[in-house]
Amino acid sequence: MAYGIKRGVRFQILSESDLDRIHWGTLHVLEKVGVQVDSVACRKLLKDNGCDVDEKTRIVRVPSHLVEWALEKKKSSITLAGRNPKYDAKLDLNHSYMTANGNGAVAVDFETGKRRPSMKKDVVNSSRIIDYLQNVHIHWPMVSSTDQHPSTMHLHDLDASMNNTEKHIMYETGVTISDAKSLTEMGYIAAGGEKEFRQRPVQSCLQCTYAPLQHDAGVMDASLYFAEMGVPLVFFGMPQPGATGPATLVGSLVVGNAEVLSALTMTQLHAPGAAVIYGMGNAPLDMRTTIRAGGSPEHALSSAMATELAHHYGMPSCVGVSATAKQPGDQAILEYYTGCAGPLLAGADLMCGIGLLEDSSCLFYEQIVIDNEIVGVISRLIRGEWADDVTLALDVIEKVGVGKNYLAQKHTVQHLRSGDHFMPELIDRRSFDSWSADGSKSLVDKARDKTKWILANHKVPALDSDTQAKVNAVIEKAKKPMWGGETKRA
């Protein structure tokens, strides 16, 4: 059985004509307005290939034919490999995969319920929870190891993840050349070598562009390195409709598309055929609170449209979901269901954002488990239904006849076991009397119970001692002096 969520139902928002207009509008923006490219290496690369480069403003105008060339050169097939091959995520445009949310800096202590800076133990625990859950397919270090040496926090995040999940790991912390080198080296070690990693990349990097129409020097220099070294990349545009992008969702999509396609062009010029995934997360700015409205219907629509545009280019999509809720409960469930349903129904290949609240900043362990249930419900919706000899069940209907039931039929047992009926773990379908006799537990209460069970019982094979020693050496080598020239040991 294929890993991930099989898609059978898909709705469409934008027509082919709409998508063509967005594409040609994006090319117009890249040629007439341009993008700011802060990387010296990238500006040289673009200038050498016929782009108009203004060194004073760092604005680069990219001709249409170069973007079209880059779209032709992109890698056509991408597999995000797991440490365990059963978790390989094949981005074939027919399956969807959920990823965790990443890089929060606050955690609510699971035992005390108090907010505090996130620690490496939170990365360890959330990695184990992700590894266990059926409907979260790709891991992302969910919070930062703020209790570790500041210059190597992100490497400790990756170390904790590598030892506590066998699923593919995506990170968002390769924002300088030195970071990229250390993270890539750790990936090569985990895969068993450079050759093995290039064949089965067990890690990937998500890189955010800067809206509107800007590329950071460190991010792009690191991206060129990742592309050259075989690390799959997600370029993730995030213009906020009404703030860093036009108020119209399609207008902001054009801005984000220009950022993603120009980043794609730079990486393809440097390393033709590099694996690049199309990313977008356009949540609008809530004008009453000036907070990013993750989990809004507009966020879901923008992500769905970005998915359709990615598929228009023959690229897998990576889109986002988040929630502004402050704690697990009704608002968080509504925001996550809204945010996930639209893009997944539109065919999103990667859907990132599970488990963090307060606009992707705060970790509640139990929220990961709740979101897993939400995705399970949506997975059943998008799998759809069809009519064939088996599903019509005419032979079974003839056998049972009139006035009897189907409970004891082999056909019933087979289809219940195959997942035709969604079987919840948290949603309670019992009678009121049964529910109240069992403690009247809310969905959040049951999620906490499930989380406790996972942390107590689920074990993940750690890296072997030789591999771990090499990983530790990379982290130690990357440690930089603290202020005043003294190196503080973690």
The tens digit of pLDDT for each residue in 416-470 reads 877 788 899 999 999 999 999 999 999 999 999 999 999 999 999 999 999 999 9
pLDDT of residue 487: 43
| pLDDT average, residue stretch 203-220 | 98
Which positions ≥6 away from 327 have C-beta within 8 Å?
A: 108, 357, 364
**pLDDT of 389 over the 70 cut:** yes
Residue 214 pLDDT greater than 60, yes or no: yes
The pLDDT of residue 486 is 43
Q: Is the model's pLDDT at 209 over the cut of 70? A: yes
- What mean pLDDT comes out for the span 349-375? 96
What helix, strand, coil percent values describe the chain, rounded to 5? 45, 15, 40
Please tell me the pTM assigned to this model.
0.94
The confidence band for 485, taking pLDDT boundaries of 50, 70 and 90, is very low
Can you tell me the distance from the alpha carbon of 268 to that of 265, in angstroms, rounded to the nearest whole number?
5
User: What pLDDT sits at residue 477?
Assistant: 96
Strands 59-61 and 78-80: unpaired
Q: Using one digit for the tens of pLDDT, what is the confidence trace for 55-99?
A: 999 999 999 999 999 999 998 889 999 999 999 999 999 999 999
d(CA 336, CA 366) in angstroms, rounded, equals 14
Average pLDDT over the chain, rounded to whole? 95
Of 384, 369, 350, the C-alpha closest to 450 is 369
The CA angle 420-421-423, to the nearest 5 degrees, is 130
pLDDT digits (tens, 9 = 90+) for 297-325: 999 999 999 999 999 999 999 999 999 99
d(CA 275, CA 201): 10
Q: 194: Cβ–Cβ under 8 A, 6 or more apart, which residues?
A: 188, 229, 230
User: What pLDDT score does 416 carry?
Assistant: 84
Tokens 């977008």 sit on residue? 280
Three-class DSSP category at 79: strand
Q: Per-residue confidence at 119, pLDDT binned at 50, 70, 90?
A: very high
Helix (H) or strand (E) holding 332: helix 330-345
Predicted local confidence at residue 9, as pLDDT: 86
Q: Is the pLDDT of residue 488 over 60?
A: no
For residues 230 and 7, the answer to whether their CB atoms sit within 8 Å is no
What does the pLDDT average to over 340-361?
94
The four Cα atoms 155, 159, 161, 165 give a dihedral, to 10 degrees, of 150
DSSP bridge pairs for 286: 291
Place 1 in a pLDDT band, splitting at 50, 70 and 90.
low
Cα–Cα distances in angstroms (integers) from residue 141 to residues 153, 181, 423, in the given order: 11, 18, 29
By the 8 A CB rule, do 376 and 422 touch? yes
Looking at per-residue pLDDT, the higher value among 258 and 383 belongs to 258
Query: Across residues 199-224, what is the average pLDDT?
Result: 98
